[in-house]
Amino acid sequence: DQTGAITASGDATVKVWSYELLPVPDTKTKVLSLRHTRTLKLDDPVLYATVSPCGKLLAAALLDCTVKIFFMDTFKFFISLYGHKLPILCTDISSDSTLIVTGSADRNVKIWGLDFGDCHKSLFAHDDAVTCVKFLHGTHYFFTSGKDGLVKQWDADSFNKIITLKGHFGECWGLSLGGNYVASCGQDRAVRVYEKTDEPLVLNDEEEEERAKEELATGESAPSKLPSTKTVLSERGAELLIECLDSLNEYQEGMKLGLNPDLPTMMGVLNLKSPQEYLAKTLSNIRASDLEEALILLPFHNVSFLMTLLPQLLAAPLTCEIAAKTLLLLLKVHHGPVTSDTSKIRLLENIETSAMEAITTFRDMVGVNLHGLMYIQREIEKKEGILMFKEVSDKFKEKQKKKRRKEKLKKAAAILAL
């Protein structure tokens, strides 16, 4: 009914909140607030919670791979849905409140009836964990997204897959549906928007195309691929990084021999004063979603040289963020070769020390900025006479305590009078 919200938590509770307009003292303005009204306690951590559009049922996905259905008004248990082999990460209920869809880390999507809790169909939906399921309003069509980076549309009545939407490089995390549009977000830090067209869609043709792609990918003539989503931008980023590292390596070798070499040409073009600035500029110019793939394409000798330069970047406040991110991705991509080389133990210890100092400094800076912004917010609220947001639960609880205290005093006075 759009009068509140629910939250699910690892503390094994589902909490119900109501929206409330609270008047600001000494002003005519009101501010939107949340008031905690009820709490449903369960036996396991809750990963996801959904309320049916009719407002009568509450579905809670638990860590024990089940979904518990409760009546919304009394929190009385209704039915339990079990069948997934791994925890359920997302659920959604159709607009007529007759079907519920569950998506799990076991890569399956199950369609259930809300009348008896029977499983209508189990679909192998994605090649990795299912991260989000959403029904299209007024229909039994629903969309799913997965860590394989795909968005798929399904028919919950015929159990057919309608279309597969590709666009994300990496994992796809969330979906939002509205009108003729579907929006998705993912690991590549992008929001992809898909628009419904009037072009006719033939399911048999879609199935044949996907079957042909699967045969090509599994056949003997299938091209070998790196375990990554290599793109033109990631290849370009790797080329620029290799060029930067090679030129810096030549410069350092010349300095060791006392030849007083010239600075790399690109440093003069970019108006940079030190090799560290040149490396940081090159790393920051690579798009965030392509950095990991660019590091995969690096030869290992470039990786070794890059790691020797990271402590200097970590020590500088302006470059510690990109250096820390590069370090984590390097250890993720080249973990085996790096850790098996005993000559790099001292280097790794130095990097660890520099990284911890840089992260501590960066965390303190973020904390100071955060509290500074909070102070500015309070000053603006005092000056303008408005509140940006106010939590009323504490005040509501205090009012309830005062009310109960007055009732106790009245009862005590009545007893003494007798």
Nearest by Cα to 349 from 383, 320, 386, 307? 307
Instruction: Identify the residue with better confidence: 342 or 104.
Output: 104
How far from chain centre, in Å, is Cα 8?
Answer: 16
Report in angstroms the alpha-carbon separations of 382 from 26, 372, 386: 12, 16, 7
Question: pLDDT digits over 72-117, tens only?
Answer: 999 999 999 999 999 999 999 999 999 999 999 999 999 999 988 8
CATH code reported for the domain at 4-201: 2.130.10.10
Tell me the pLDDT tens digit for each residue of 140-150: 999 999 998 89
pTM: 0.53
Q: What is the DSSP letter of 257?
A: T
With 60 as the cut, is the pLDDT of residue 387 above it? Answer: no
130-135 and 119-124 beta bridge pairing: unpaired
Rg of the Cα atoms in the chain: 29
Residue with structure tokens 């407002």?
Answer: 55
Nearest to 170 by CA among 212, 131, 224: 131
How far is 291 from 297, CA to CA, in rounded Å?
Answer: 10
Question: How do residues 114-130 score in pLDDT, each as one tens digit?
Answer: 988 899 999 999 988 99
CA distance 32 to 22: 7
Type of residue found at 252: Q
Q: 3-state DSSP helix/strand/coil percent for the chain, to nearest 5?
A: 40, 30, 30
Average pLDDT rounded to a whole number, residues 41-47: 92
* Higher per-residue confidence, 196 vs 91: 91
> What pLDDT is recorded for position 169?
83
Residue 7 to residue 16: CA distance in whole angstroms: 7
Tokens of 174: 């969330």
Cα 354 from chain centre: 28
Residue 29: other Cβ atoms inside 10 A: 12
Among residues 312, 334, 339, the alpha carbon closest in space to that of 323 is found at 312
Which residue's structure tokens are 């000494």? 26
Q: Shortest CA distance to 125 belongs to which of 99, 106, 98, 140?
A: 106
Residue 103: count of CB within 10 angstroms of its CB:
30
Q: pLDDT by residue (tens digit) across 360-369?
A: 888 888 899 9
Q: What does the alpha-carbon distance between residue 145 and residue 159 come to, in Å, rounded to a whole number?
A: 16
- Segments making up each domain of the chain, as ranges: 4-201, 232-365, 388-417
Buried residues in 46-67 as b, exposed as e (16+ CB within 10 A): bbbbbbbeeeebbbbbbeebbb
Q: How much is the pLDDT for 49?
A: 94
